[in-house]
Amino acid sequence: MKIKLNQFFILFIGALVFSSSVMAQRGGETQYANPLLPSKKPTPIYFGPAGGVNITQHPMTMPTICNSFEQGVGIGLYGGITLERLFGDVATSSSSIIFRLLFNMYPGSDSREDVSCNILPTTGGNPVEQNVKDALNISYNAVTFEAMYKINPIPAFGLGIVVGPAIDYIITKTKKWTYELTTKGMYWNQDLFREKYPYVTFEDGQTAVMYDGEVEDASSIRFGVKAGVQYEILLGSKLYVAPAIVYNFGITPVTSQHSWRVNALQVGIDARFAF
């Protein structure tokens, strides 16, 4: 195991040295080598696919009948296209602007086991105290446009710091809220339940669906601010990949009814080709 770790460490250092070397050479031929055979001046524009994972958080204060949801979490995907415009000479550029058009999935869920509730009608016909599982599942998807400013603080090194705004157009914004009886052999008295909560439906005798639909008074636009780091690994003068980890902080609320925002830790990779 020690030998394998040493080999991995040597390979890792070698990859960094190689990447830095190629980074320093990127587009290095900026002058004509021969008036009769001019070399092409490198382009400052790179384009390619982007994809990764969203580790989402839904900080909220959403009261229920016997509980309150406070933090939904989930894992979703994102994917799309990215375009980068380098500033200055390609061979020595240390900053750029990066645009992305993405599809983002920001799912979330929260649940509380054994919530004590004494206002819900059960099989006996009268409200009695029962333990229920109070659960919330969120589907929240968006088409996103973002513009990120990138700077490489160390010359000829692939580490980059990125920051900028993200604008989401929300295309899916639904939630499903359920109460599930956790006591075996206990079932909802559905007729009495509907008298008190006429909007309720039932998946089975033990699970009452309190709400299943679009989030009430939900906004169609979400504004966020992103900041993080990436590392550029050049695979030639016209191609590089950039693994990145970025935090996407939501500024605007999901709905006007109560406190609820969406944040995401985004881990992914871009591949960019020179035009």
Q: How far is CA 63 from the centre of its chain?
A: 25
CATH T-level topology, domain 2-26+45-111+138-173+218-274? Porin (2.40.160)
d(CA 116, CA 233) in angstroms, rounded, equals 54
For residue 42, give the DSSP letter. P
d(CA 229, CA 163) in angstroms, rounded, equals 9
Q: What is the pLDDT of residue 35?
A: 42
Q: What is the pLDDT of residue 32?
A: 36
Could you tell me the residue ranges of all domains in the chain? 2-26+45-111+138-173+218-274
d(CA 117, CA 131) in angstroms, rounded, equals 6
Q: Quick: pLDDT tens for 200-246.
A: 999 988 899 999 999 999 999 999 999 999 999 988 778 999 999 99
CA angle 12, 15, 18 (to 5 degrees): 150
Q: With 0-12 CB in 10 A as exposed, 13-18 as middle and 19+ as buried, what is 189? A: middle
Provide the 10 A C-beta neighbour count for residue 38: 11
Q: What is the pLDDT of residue 41?
A: 61
pTM: 0.81
